[in-house]
Amino acid sequence: MKRREFLQLSSLAGLTLLAPGTMWAMEKTHGRTLVLVELKGGNDGLNTVVPFEDPTYKRLRPNLALSKSEVIRLDKGPYLNATLNPLRPLWDEGHLAVVEGVGYPNPNRSHFRSIEIWETASDSNEYLHDGWLSSALPDGVGPLPGAMIAGAGEDGPLRGVSALTVESPQQLFRHGQRLRRVDVKTENPALAHVIQTQNDLVGSIASIQERVGPSKSPNGDFTKSSLGRGLQMTAQMLGAGVPLTVVKVQLSGFDTHAQQPKKHSRLLTDVGQNLAAFAKSLQTYGRWNEVVVATYSEFGRRVKENAGRGTDHGTAAPLFVLGGTVKGGVFGETPSLTDLDAGDLKFTTDYRRVYATLSKRWLGGESLGHQPLSFL
Amino acid sequence: MRAMGFEDARHFLSRTGFGGTPAEIRQLASKSRAQAVVEAIDGLKLQPHTKPPEWVHKPLPPRRKLKMLMGDKKAVQMLLRTRAIDLKTWWLDEMVQTPSALTERLTLFWHNHFVTSMQKVRRPVFLYQQNRMLREHAAGNFRDFVHAVSKDAAMILYLDTQQNRRKSPNENFARELMELFTLGEGAGYTERDIKEAARAFTGWSTQKLTGEFKFRRFQHDSGSKTVLGTTGDLSGGDVIEIILKRREFGPMIVEKLWAEFITTPIPTEQRRKLVNGFRRDFEIRPLVSAILSSKEFWADANRGTRVKSPVEFVVGLVRVLGLRLENPKLMVKACRDLGQDVFSPPNVKGWKQGPAWIDASSLLRRQLIASRVRQLDSTAADDPAAWLGVPTAQVRSECARVLLPSPPVQTDSANLGQYELGELLLDPVFQLA
């Protein structure tokens, strides 16, 4: 959104709606939006982007290897789990990037610790607190409409940005009703700070309500999962002109230690369908060029299947980046299935290179000391 | 001696604890300010008031054996996680139950000074042991305190002292000892002093199971070192003594403790006096006493000017309103959601205090919690008049007087009863102490 339009939005609501810092920040990110999709639990990368032609894949996964009818081949690209078929048009349009072998040195196989590493962009043995976006985002971004956790989930990569968790627009508006604007002058700096924070919040919510309230929820084929609801709400807000900068959504259940096939295909169906629906609604709104979506997960899974028709915690995995200005294709090297580290894939792309790309080439932030990739 | 009155008593209880119930405020109001300080200081406790979780007395077997006993790594992680939550619940509940809220405020203060975190230490029992150590020294002798901290298992693990070996010294503890724990950043020491001091702490380690201090002689560098101008075969203990004798020592601790209780800056003359006293005997108790007795503590400029920390906010709600929580674990979640996960500060610098506690997200969460409080059972909700100890006609004004440090700014208090209580909890002024 251009500054002028943004000011119009402010004046529409007839209030001083947003802190000046937020406005400035929107200029800094050129009205661009980043949507992070957390696949919680450790997504099985090998059954997502499938090394279908590698005999080792079938050898190490006698029960879990996908069959010919369970994969699709992207045009001049990799095999995907067939449940991701809705993403095919995006690939064909050149809007889908597959980043291969994403991970980090000395991988940690604990959910808790590994997601913390991913969220804070730390080394394996480094303990950081704030999410990586707190340093990647230009100063002044957040809380709303700067940063939002759509649906549910921890703030994770947004820790330190003061992101609001919004379950639904209606819930946000209910919050708005509870909060009142306070017009009291005070010499007490602590009280002034609380009042200012509250008034900013009231203003942000009012401006969002002004826009989103009369708008319709996008039609698209969204599911009722947290991912579906989160993306649907995000699409609606973006369509209504709410200048979101960063949004996080999540889908849980990827920790498939047992009876993986059914669970995993249900999850990926949800991912494929909702991402496609999201892309479609933004295309309808004419905003697809201003949005980038990236998936991530704390780790991939062990190459060899376990005895319970499942897989255990692993290391590197592929991730997806999509958007109207994303350069489609495969980035990074596919990890070898034979040259393993204690049964796990060796990463080929440091996950912070993905962040560096999103930060530097999309949000106008720093490159976090890592070389960006060329999908943007 | 002059009775201090309701307003003073309210101020004292909210700044030295988590806020007073109407009965507590009234009881204190009949005493003098000096008496209030003496009683709070005399009431400090070395032992916790409530019983800790049973498991703190039974050390776990070594990790490998535990994994064998429990089947897999996941079960072990679950066990440690459950214990971590147990421990957090225990401490927050201790803050609610204790007759000496000042003990808890000081313990929390030192937890945020000599920072360690469950996130890295991973052994809940060590954080329990450390908590006991913190409360024993909280108003004791700072010099003994630093020595105890340097041998504390959680600290040794948190700042990598167990990896500090003769052939590969680790400077983490030595650096924070000077920068964050005693002198202040860059206050009269150099990088070289840190390197040399680190050598003095080589071989300091901990018993993995019991958390007892262990000196590994063969990992210790017994060569000559020069720290802050003193040369010799210095031990870690020697280094602490050297640091505490520096003329740079004192101001940081005095100012930090002052800021815990008083939001206006410490006047120069007052600072000089308190620093000199503290440097002489390292006694924390008289320092706290002097701060609470100062005219700045009682001044109007120091009323309702502190943003409550999440712990003050949550524990305060429970204590003051007499909330009956079915599950006290809720307090842990509430504090974590608001940004203060006890036993897990964000980094070695601890939580940022003050206005930083309130941003859009945390304010909204505080409001959500406060609005839910209305639906919970509490002494305050049972019978507001009885809780406040006033006739029904006075409930309205009295309620605001108890809950808020200054008049409400958004509450149009036309109605009576529980609804209004809820309204007051949503007032911006309720965020302040």
B280: exposed, middle or buried (Cβ count in 10 Å: 0-12, 13-18, 19+): exposed
Query: For the ranges A1-15, A183-197, B244-258, B386-400, which has the lowest average pLDDT?
Result: A1-15
Residue A14: per-residue pLDDT: 29
Q: Please give the single-letter amino acid code of residue A47.
A: N
Taking the CA atoms of chain A, what radius of gyration do you get in angstroms?
A: 21
> What is the H or E stretch that residue A164 is in?
strand A164-166
- A3 is written with which tokens? 């500054």
User: Average of pLDDT values for B84-113?
Assistant: 98
Whether residue B363 sits in one domain with residue B229: no
Whether residue B61 sits in one domain with residue B26: no
Cβ–Cβ gap B304/A188 under 8 Å: yes
Instruction: Encode pLDDT of B311-340 as tens digits.
Output: 999 999 999 999 999 999 999 999 999 999
Q: For residue B389, is it within any domain?
A: yes
In 10 A of CB A119, how many CB atoms?
A: 25
In 10 A of CB B407, how many CB atoms?
A: 13
- A222 is written with which tokens? 């969204």
- Taking each helix axis from N to C end, the angle separating B124-137 and B73-97, rounded to the nearest 10 degrees, works out to 20
Name the phi and psi angles at A291, rounded to 5. Answer: -125, 135
Last residue of a domain, one of B196, B211, B245: B245
Under 8 Å CB pairs connecting chains A and B tally to: 86
Which residues in A lie closer than 8 A to residue B355 (C-beta atoms)? 189-190, 193-194
CB B340 within 8 A of CB B309: yes
Band of the pLDDT at B360, cuts 50, 70, 90?
confident
At residue B224, the 3 state secondary structure works out as coil
User: Average of pLDDT values for B283-290?
Assistant: 98
Q: For residue A10, is it within any domain?
A: no
- B339 is written with which tokens? 């940004």
Residues 61-80 of B with CB under 8 A from A: 77
Choosing among B361, B411, B412, B427, which should be mutated to test the A contact, i.e. which has the most A CBs within 10 A?
Answer: B361
Q: For residue B38, is it within any domain?
A: no
Q: Which residues touch B423 (CB under 8 Å, ≥6 apart)?
A: B411, B413
Which residues in B lie closer than 8 A to residue A186 (C-beta atoms)? 409
Whether residue B147 sits in one domain with residue B10: no
Residues 201-220 of B with CB under 8 A from A: none
CA distance B262 to chain A (A): 13
Which residues in A lie closer than 8 A to residue B347 (C-beta atoms)? 127-129
Q: In total, how many domains does chain B have?
A: 3
Last residue of a domain, one of B195, B222, B245: B245
Q: For residue B232, is it within any domain?
A: yes
Residue B419: per-residue pLDDT: 52
Residue A16: per-residue pLDDT: 32
Cα(A118)–Cα(B282) distance, rounded to whole angstroms? 44
Cβ–Cβ gap B355/A190 under 8 Å: yes
Length of chain B as a residue count: 433
Whether residue B385 sits in one domain with residue B321: yes
CA distance A273 to chain B (A): 31
Whether residue B232 sits in one domain with residue B114: yes
DSSP annotation of B249 reads S
Give the angle subtended at the CA of A9 by the CAs of A4 and A11, to the nearest 5°: 95
Judged against a pLDDT cut of 50, whether residue B417 lies above it is answered with: no
Its domain, for residue A300, covers 30-169+222-363
Cα(A240)–Cα(A235) distance, rounded to whole angstroms? 8
Judged against a pLDDT cut of 90, whether residue B131 lies above it is answered with: yes
Of A186, A191, A200, the CB nearest to B360: A200
Q: For residue A100, is it within any domain?
A: yes
Q: For residue B363, is it within any domain?
A: yes
CA A14 to chain centre: 33
Q: For residue A276, is it within any domain?
A: yes
Cβ–Cβ gap B371/A178 under 8 Å: yes
Choosing among B363, B371, B372, which should be mutated to test the A contact, i.e. which has the most A CBs within 10 A?
Answer: B363
Instruction: Encode pLDDT of B29-66 as tens digits.
Output: 999 999 999 999 999 999 999 999 999 998 888 888 88
Cα(A29)–Cα(A362) distance, rounded to whole angstroms? 7
CA distance A256 to chain B (A): 14
- B417 is written with which tokens? 């009863």
Q: For residue B258, is it within any domain?
A: no
Compute CA distances A233 → A38, A48, B28, whole Å. Answer: 16, 26, 53
CB B430 within 8 A of CB B312: no
- Residues linked to residue B225 through DSSP beta bridges, in sequence order: B232
Cα(B310)–Cα(B31) distance, rounded to whole angstroms? 30
Which residues in B lie closer than 8 A to residue A130 (C-beta atoms)? 346
Q: Which residue has the tokens 């440097």?
A: B279
Whether residue B16 sits in one domain with residue B84: no
Q: Residue A184's closest chain B neighbor by CA?
A: B409
Q: For residue B172, is it within any domain?
A: yes
Band of the pLDDT at B412, cuts 50, 70, 90?
low
CB B262 within 8 A of CB B232: no
Name the phi and psi angles at B117, rounded to 5. Answer: -140, 140
A interface with B, Cβ–Cβ below 8 Å: 110, 112, 116, 127-130, 142-144, 155, 162-165, 175, 178-180, 182, 184, 186, 188-191, 193-195, 197-198, 200-201, 204
Residue A142: per-residue pLDDT: 65
**Can you say whether the dihedral through the CA atoms of A279, A281, A284, A288 is positive or negative?**
negative
Q: For residue A270, is it within any domain?
A: yes
Whether residue B160 sits in one domain with residue B108: yes
Residue B51: per-residue pLDDT: 97
CA A148 to chain centre: 11
Instruction: Encode pLDDT of B1-17 as tens digits.
Output: 799 999 999 999 999 99
Cα(B6)–Cα(B14) distance, rounded to whole angstroms? 12
Which residues in B lie closer than 8 A to residue A184 (C-beta atoms)? 409-410
Q: For residue B294, is it within any domain?
A: no
User: Looking at residue A350, which CATH number applies to its domain?
Assistant: 3.40.720.10
A14: exposed, middle or buried (Cβ count in 10 Å: 0-12, 13-18, 19+): exposed
B34: exposed, middle or buried (Cβ count in 10 Å: 0-12, 13-18, 19+): middle
Which residues in A lie closer than 8 A to residue B119 (C-beta atoms)? 116, 127
At residue B72, the 3 state secondary structure works out as coil
Q: For residue A208, is it within any domain?
A: no
- Taking each helix axis from N to C end, the angle separating B360-373 and B418-425, rounded to the nearest 10 degrees, works out to 160
Last residue of a domain, one of B245, B263, B287: B245
User: Average of pLDDT values for B76-90?
Assistant: 95
Residue B411: per-residue pLDDT: 65
Q: For residue A357, is it within any domain?
A: yes
Cβ–Cβ gap B410/A182 under 8 Å: yes
CA distance A110 to chain B (A): 9
Compute CA distances B38 → A301, A328, B48, whole Å. Answer: 61, 72, 20
Asked if B347 is an interface residue toward chain A (Cβ–Cβ < 8 A), one would say: yes
Whether residue B338 sits in one domain with residue B220: no
Compute CA distances B151 → A89, B165, B173, B220, B400, whole Å. Answer: 62, 16, 11, 15, 47
- B239 is written with which tokens? 């280094």
Cα(A371)–Cα(A363) distance, rounded to whole angstroms? 15
Cα(B354)–Cα(A190) distance, rounded to whole angstroms? 8
Which residues in B lie closer than 8 A to residue A194 (C-beta atoms)? 307, 355, 358, 363, 428, 431-432
- A237 is written with which tokens? 């807000």
> What is the H or E stretch that residue A5 is in?
helix A3-13
Q: Which residue has the tokens 């498991």?
A: B55
Whether residue B131 sits in one domain with residue B13: no
At residue B59, the 3 state secondary structure works out as coil
Question: Which strands make up the sheet holding A49-50, listed edge to edge?
Answer: A49-50, A79-81, A71-73
Q: For residue A179, is it within any domain?
A: no
- Residues linked to residue A246 through DSSP beta bridges, in sequence order: A34, A147
Judged against a pLDDT cut of 50, whether residue B427 lies above it is answered with: yes
Q: Please give the single-letter amino acid code of residue B26.
A: R
Its domain, for residue B381, covers 310-431
> What is the H or E stretch that residue B199 is in?
helix B191-200
Q: Residue B303's closest chain A neighbor by CA?
A: A188
Q: In total, how many domains does chain A have?
A: 1
- Pairing, β A79-81 against β A49-50: antiparallel
Whether residue B229 sits in one domain with residue B81: yes
Cα(A290)–Cα(A298) distance, rounded to whole angstroms? 27
Cβ–Cβ gap A190/B354 under 8 Å: yes
Band of the pLDDT at B284, cuts 50, 70, 90?
very high
Whether residue B19 sits in one domain with residue B110: no
Cα(A300)–Cα(A48) distance, rounded to whole angstroms? 10
Q: Please give the single-letter amino acid code of residue B138.
A: A
Which residue in A188, A323, A95 sits closest to B301, CA to CA? Answer: A188
CB B221 within 8 A of CB B233: no
Q: For residue B17, is it within any domain?
A: yes
Chunk chain A into consecutive blocks of 10 residues (it has 376) and report each block's average pLDDT, rounded to whole numbers: 34 33 46 96 98 97 97 97 98 98 95 93 90 84 80 87 87 86 93 94 90 88 95 95 94 94 97 98 96 98 94 96 98 97 96 97 91 97
Whether residue B217 sits in one domain with residue B99: yes
Q: For residue A292, is it within any domain?
A: yes
